[in-house]
Chain A
Amino acid sequence: MTPKKRLEIIVDGALQDKVLKLLATHGVTGYTILPALSGEGPEGAWRGEGLIADVGQMVVILSILDAAKLSVLETILPPFLDKHQAICTVSDVMVFRPSKF
């Protein structure tokens, strides 16, 4: 198995396309999006249930990438995260087929 990095960004659904565009311009084109149900943070509690617009419905953007690509994202993601109140984590993972990522 091959070591890779797993990037995880929790962001408002209305900003999903903006994040994907930002990632794509820095070579991160593969991703998976998951819906988030509810949560609580410094800005208070939120829940996506029953909402009809994208705003307020949080999503999780997952991407598996090389450590080399991560160094570029380290400079561009923090200012974006500060401005848009998003959460981003990076963790180590192992993959079976490295050519897929």
Chain B
Amino acid sequence: MMDLALQTLLSPMILFFVLGLGAAFMKSDLSVPSAIAKGMSLYLMLAIGFKGGVQVSTAGFTPDLAWTGLAGFLLSLCMPFVAFFALRKTTTLPAADTASIAGHYGSISIVTFIAATQALKTAGIPFEGYMIAVAALMEAPAIFTALRLASRYDPETEATPWHHILANGSVVLLAGAFFIGMITGQEGMNTLESFVVSPFKGVLCLFLLDMGLVAGRGLMESRHLLRGSLLAFGLYMPFLGALMAGGLAAVLSLSAGNAALLMVCAASASYIAAPAAMRLALPQAKPAISLTLAMGITFPFNLIVGIPLWIALAQAFTGGSQ
């Protein structure tokens, strides 16, 4: 466990993220233009989706794929209930803010997922390519649940922006690249290998530097919004999500690598798909609270502490099976 934690902490990806955080805290003028940050996020989603699809084309459809997909879907659908009622019990936030945060924590952070796949590769723990499809499946159901909860407690909730949720750019690109990888298989990989494999880690480092800057600056500018029980939520909710996912992984007898990725997804909070949907359907909710919590607290926690912890727990849950 300590070896894995040290290996993850001392990887270039995490160190570049910490550099970004440090630069933000010391008010450095270091910055990454939005257009470049967006371009890198598109590249990372294309590359990981494509590689996942190629792996599935080689391994073929298995019952594990369907069961793990169903487990991820149900987790995403149910987790907002846990988050919503935990926040209702422990904070005085209005229902709209509570539902919005619950939606963020039920959905997933694809960047955390990508970082976890790199940590697994470094640790030599195999995982299936279809886990990227499972991650894509976990983006939207939580948003649906959170908006249903909001409409029950707050009459000002607006109509569910279905098109925006289902056609969200990150979901379309991840799922699209996955299917393209599946259709073109190894031949497609031979064509794109120099684009999607070799530069991947370097781009991820630069992207995480930007995420560190954004997370650090968001935290510094909005830290007054996060107090006591709300701050604690950003740290204990990942444990609740990871434990729920770990339990499901044990029931489904998933491999340690797949279980770790399911736990990482459940422990992470969205800051791409969920915020946009919440902004449209819950205008009365304050995005600064949910975004600061997801990006400023949970994302760094998962990246620095969570990933090695979830991998170690996944090995314990599954008996280290590969």
Nearest neighbor of A47 in chain B, beta-carbon distance = B217
For this complex, into which size category does the number of interface residues on chain B fall? 20 to 34
Bound together, the chains give a CA A45 to CA B213 distance in angstroms of: 15
Bound together, the chains give a CA A61 to CA B217 distance in angstroms of: 26
Interface of A, secondary structure class, is: loop
A9 to chain B, nearest CB (A): 14
- Say yes or no: A52-B37 contact (C-beta < 8 A), given A43-B288, A44-B288, A47-B217: yes
Tell whether, in the assembled complex, residue B287 and residue A12 are in contact, meaning their CB atoms are under 8 Å apart. Answer: yes
Which of B41, B156, B283, B291 meets A52, CB within 8 Å?
B41
**Contact digits for A30-46, partner B, Cβ 8 Å, 1 yes 0 no:** 00000000000001111
Which of A12, A46, A51, A52 meets B279, CB within 8 Å?
A12
Nearest neighbor of A40 in chain B, beta-carbon distance = B221
- Say yes or no: A15-B279 contact (C-beta < 8 A), given A44-B222, A52-B37, A57-B34: yes
**Contact digits for A8-42, partner B, Cβ 8 Å, 1 yes 0 no:** 00001011001000000000000000000000000
Tell whether, in the assembled complex, residue A51 and residue B34 are in contact, meaning their CB atoms are under 8 Å apart. Answer: yes
List residues of chain B with CB within 8 A of the CB of A55: 275-276, 279, 287, 291
Interface of B, secondary structure class, is: helix
A46 to chain B, nearest CB (A): 7
Tell whether, in the assembled complex, residue A49 and residue B32 are in contact, meaning their CB atoms are under 8 Å apart. Answer: yes
**Contact digits for B38-80, partner A, Cβ 8 Å, 1 yes 0 no:** 1001000000000000000000000000000000000000000
Q: Which of A60-100 contact B (CB under 8 A)?
A: 83-85
B residues in contact (CB < 8 Å) with A: 31-34, 37-38, 41, 156, 210, 213-214, 217, 221-222, 224, 271-272, 275-276, 279-280, 283-284, 286-288, 291
